Structure 1
């Protein structure tokens, strides 16, 4: 056999095996994975396929990437942690996760953040979030919706 025949034979083998790989997951299990926002890999890390995407994202799974652990010195960011933006009536507007490297996720979606005048500022849609870096300043962590003209507090969870 020549090189061209080997390449054709290899392509045929791959073509026959691909459909088998596509059906390797049970449809009911695949549906649970989709509903939960988990992957097979994140399930092994603790993502619960019996919970919703929002519940798993709040726990750090799903569409939100799992942050890589850094040395203790890097964990001293005053912004790091789980936060909740609250409406004046107490409803949750959004959930916020900030890792020690100051990467930010709002409702499980990564958003760009920047430091501005001692605060970490980031935006998701029409909402601008500001979290103060000096933890001694109380009541300064705020959100504002420029479209609706509403605002409220951000509290650490």
Structure 2
């Protein structure tokens, strides 16, 4: 019985101690920016404010309508390219200046016929500017000949 109690106490203290693994300055930066450690790995900038990160499409706890500006592009935000079987092909982030990152890597994008078109490898992504067009945000792999939809997060 004492052995089980000792093991339980050691486990509780080891789990409790891991919550303090980040330093105070880093914790303050996360709180100010609205980022989490996971969203920071996806590009959330801990040197910016919650409002600035919300405009970039990250969930910071600020309502999206409050974070948006009147000149915001219809492409801005977080997107997911979904495969034919429902799996994630790529995660896409577009900021208010229409800079695009696919799986965390920057790619060049251009506007074509009211859509934002960009390419990474053999996959071409097309996101429509007119948000009333449903089901028109798509990707296509020229290598495999497969296609799928792109959905907003």
- TM-score when scaled to structure 1? 0.60
Aligned residue number for residue 152 of structure 2: 156
The alpha-carbon deviation at position 72 of structure 1 amounts to 1.9
Asked whether 1:80 is paired with 2:76, we answer yes
Aligned residue number for residue 96 of structure 1: 92
- 1:64-75 aligned at under 5 Å gives the runs 69=52, 72-75=69-72
Secondary structure (helix, strand or coil) at the match of 1:72 reads coil
Aligned residue number for residue 141 of structure 2: 145
Aligned residue number for residue 127 of structure 1: 123
Structure 2 gaps of 5+ residues are 1-20, 56-67
Answer with 1 or 2: which has the greater Rg: 1
Q: Could you tell me whether the CA contact under 8 Å between 1:74 and 1:101 is conserved in 2?
A: no
Secondary structure (helix, strand or coil) at the match of 2:110 reads strand
- TM-score when scaled to structure 2? 0.61
Structure 1 gaps of 5+ residues are 1-31, 33-39
- How far, CA to CA, are the matches of 2:123 and 2:69 in structure 1? 32
What CA RMSD, in Å, does the superposition of the two structures yield over aligned residues? 3.1
Secondary structure (helix, strand or coil) at the match of 1:74 reads coil
